[in-house]
Amino acid sequence: MPLMRTITGPTDLKRLTPRQVGILAQEIRDYLIESVSRTGGHLGPNLGVVELTIALHRVFNSPRDTLLFDTGHIAYVHKLLTGRHDFSTLRQQGGLSGYPSRTESDHDVIENSHASSSLSWAIGIAKARELQGETGRHTVAVIGDGALTGGMVWEALNNIAENRDLPLIIVINDNERSYAATRGGMADYLASLRATQEYEEVLSWGKRQLKRTPLVGRQVYETLHGMKKGLKDIVSPQGMFEDLGLKYLGPVDGHDVDAMETALRRAHDFGGVVLVHAITEKGHGYDPATQDEADRFHAVGVINPETGLPLELSGRSWTDEVSEEMVRLGKERPDIVAITASMLIPVGLQPFAERFPDRVFDVGIAEQHAVAMAAGLSYAGLHPVVCIYSTFLNRAFDQLLMDCALHRQGVTFVLDRAGVTGTDGASHNGMWDLTLLGMVPGIHVAAPRDGQQVARALREAVAIEDAPSVLRFPKGTVSAPIEAVRRHGTVDVLRDVEGAADAADGPVDLVLVGAGAMAVTALEIADKLYAEGRSVMVVDPRWVLPVSEDLVELARNARHVGVVEDALVGGLAGRITEALAAADVRVPVHAYGIPHEFLDHGSRGQVLDRVGLTADPIATSLAAQLA
């Protein structure tokens, strides 16, 4: 691709002719399809912003002008235009991040992939430059219509409206979708603006008919003109935004580079806050990504670039188990409802929504609202199940604590992608949940070890009506069933020691707690220690919070306790230590978890290996402790 390879930075774009810009856009689109189909990644969103990103870099001067992407998964084109052409190891260990990364380029700013934060960043940057006397620098935030459903955006807009003289440009990338179709009042409002643009186009067609066939054309034109006038009586394109004091430009065809450049140059020269409304199509230029199943091209694995079909067949996922059990529970209990934050398909709620359409609420990218709404649903007699990625619960911790737990509302949280998720990088790892949840009085947290336990734990969780309950599990293929050799109250014993229940036989060397998916690792560790002559009991507490008396009782007859968890080190282990101390059980607890640091992207296995959360290093460490 000769033209794309000559673009080593944004300044190279400015010398291109309009014809060359069109060629470049097609080269980029072809390259994205070819490269992302080999590695996996966010394909559809980036195909939709090719021309838009080219126009941004031709009008503004990055990095002197700051470009902010909300969310960062639409930054692939930006990476290519800033000289990063090797996508062969995209999202792989040592390769390019799937999001902006300051370690990669001075052109990157926001690495966090949580939506709706860009406008807050934007006013912060623009205001800081104003206070420091810096002039001639613009701040540009590119935000999707899906992210506009998040409350932070409107908090920021309220503040921006008081600072309308700042050189701040807001570009709405309006493709009618977040992961799936955007819903809610904001989506309806943007749709009305798109409708206005369509009326303008039809009216223009009517004018052409007037010239060709005056009699019929005049009738067509007058009819259309009346329809347009009626529409404008209902909604003015600038209405909401100009009521806030913000200059509005658009709607603009986001796939027309010339039109985008014209709008962006007007915004650049305006001398204050401007909102540019760009209409784009997610997956534009790639037929499989714009067809009926377009949502599956938001993020893809390895696919055939010609057909869009996956080349690697994945096994049954943890999410599949939740999806099926939710439908079964929905049939049994009409009080069960589900809430999602623009993630209906990824969290497995699509089958439930198809079966019970009136009992699913997609509230947009608004996790705080989702959780507070769940408290209200619970108070009014329903049992809501909030299905969300673990990392996104961070935003709704206050609502979990003060709205759900304080009021003892029976709300169940299904935390998908808990622990290490891998390829999406630091912001997507669900490593904080156990530490945060451990601070919530009265909460119940389950960590199923396999698919069968997912269904069992979910059923038990929705039976809790006087406190919030949580189910957490990792991303990926579900573990094979692990049968318990016996049950000790609420605790499953996965590997027993002969005579361990009889104190006269002496203490067990180690009670090893494998939390959730880490039960597999715990069993591998036990095998290694057993080969060295150590007596090891492996247990799965199933409900990790609160720490059960049954687990404390098992620990009484042990010389050591080990805890392996795919959360911040000490999260569960710290709670077990406290429970043992409260029961006057003086046994050392050895914690193995995720270190207190942000983790670079890589596969889940690579990341776990990098932080030492695998069988060999843990077995070596425990052997030294037991010596």
Residue by residue, DSSP assigns 440-483 as STT-EEE--SSHHHHHHHHHHHTT--SS-EEEE--SSBPPPP--
Which pLDDT does position 305 carry in this prediction?
79
156 is in an annotated binding site: no
34 is catalytic: no
Which pLDDT does position 231 carry in this prediction?
41
Higher pLDDT, 301 or 144: 144
User: 154-163, 208-217, 316-325, 368-377 — which is least confidently predicted?
Assistant: 208-217
286 is in an annotated binding site: yes
Average of per-residue pLDDT across 216-220 = 54
Point out which residues pair with 511 in neighbouring strands. Answer: 537, 561
Which pLDDT does position 235 carry in this prediction?
41
Q: Cβ(318)–Cβ(454) under 8 Å?
A: yes
Average of per-residue pLDDT across 350-354 = 96
Q: Residue 547 has which token pair?
A: 């720490």
Higher pLDDT, 557 or 352: 352
| Cα separation, 186 vs 366, whole angstroms | 13
| Cα separation, 99 vs 76, whole angstroms | 8
Nearest-CA neighbor of 171 among 47, 28, 68? 68
Average of per-residue pLDDT across 558-573 = 94
Which pLDDT does position 237 carry in this prediction?
47
Which pLDDT does position 178 carry in this prediction?
56
**pLDDT tens digits along 140-176:** 999 988 888 888 999 999 999 999 999 999 999 988 7
Average of per-residue pLDDT across 422-428 = 86
Q: Residue 617: which pLDDT band, with cuts at 50, 70 and 90?
A: very high
Which pLDDT does position 236 carry in this prediction?
47
Which pLDDT does position 502 carry in this prediction?
42
496 is in an annotated binding site: no
141 is in an annotated binding site: no
Has residue 211 got a pLDDT over 60? no
Q: Cβ(511)–Cβ(505) under 8 Å?
A: no
Q: How far apart are the first and last CA of the chain?
A: 62
User: 4-18, 207-221, 372-386, 506-520 — which is least confidently predicted?
Assistant: 207-221
User: 334-348, 504-518, 578-592 — which is least confidently predicted?
Assistant: 504-518
Catalytic: which of 395, 417, 542, 575? 395
Kindly state the percentage of the chain with pLDDT values over 70.
87
Higher pLDDT, 335 or 196: 335
Q: Cβ(94)–Cβ(166) under 8 Å?
A: no
- This prediction's pTM: 0.86
In the block, tokens 């992207």 appear at 601
User: 52-66, 226-240, 586-600 — which is least confidently predicted?
Assistant: 226-240
Which pLDDT does position 233 carry in this prediction?
40
Which pLDDT does position 556 carry in this prediction?
93
Q: Residue 504: which pLDDT band, with cuts at 50, 70 and 90?
A: very low
Question: What is the CA angle 16-32-298, rounded to 5?
Answer: 125
Which pLDDT does position 179 carry in this prediction?
55
Q: Please give the biggest Cα pair distance in the chain.
A: 106
| Cα separation, 576 vs 546, whole angstroms | 9
Please give the distance of CA 586 from its chain centroid, rounded to a whole number: 42
Q: Sheet with 558-568: list strands edge to edge.
A: 486-488, 491-495, 536-540, 508-514, 558-568, 589-594
**pLDDT tens digits along 25-37:** 999 999 999 999 8
Catalytic: which of 51, 176, 325, 367? 367
Has residue 571 got a pLDDT over 60? yes
Rg (CA), the chain: 28
Q: What is the average pLDDT value for the chain, to the nearest integer?
A: 88
Nearest-CA neighbor of 557 among 579, 591, 580? 580
Has residue 206 got a pLDDT over 60? no
Going along the chain from its start, the domains and CATH numbers come out as 2-297 (3.40.50.970), 318-472 (3.40.50.970), 491-626 (3.40.50.920)
293 is in an annotated binding site: no
200 is in an annotated binding site: no
Kindly state the percentage of the chain with pLDDT values over 90.
70
Point out which residues pair with 470 in neighbouring strands. Answer: 413, 445
Catalytic: which of 29, 129, 183, 282? 282
367 is catalytic: yes
User: 3-17, 106-120, 220-234, 236-250 — which is least confidently predicted?
Assistant: 220-234
91 is catalytic: no
Point out which residues pair with 415 in neighbouring strands. Answer: 388, 472
Which pLDDT does position 169 carry in this prediction?
97
Average of per-residue pLDDT across 437-441 = 95
367 is in an annotated binding site: yes
248 is in an annotated binding site: no
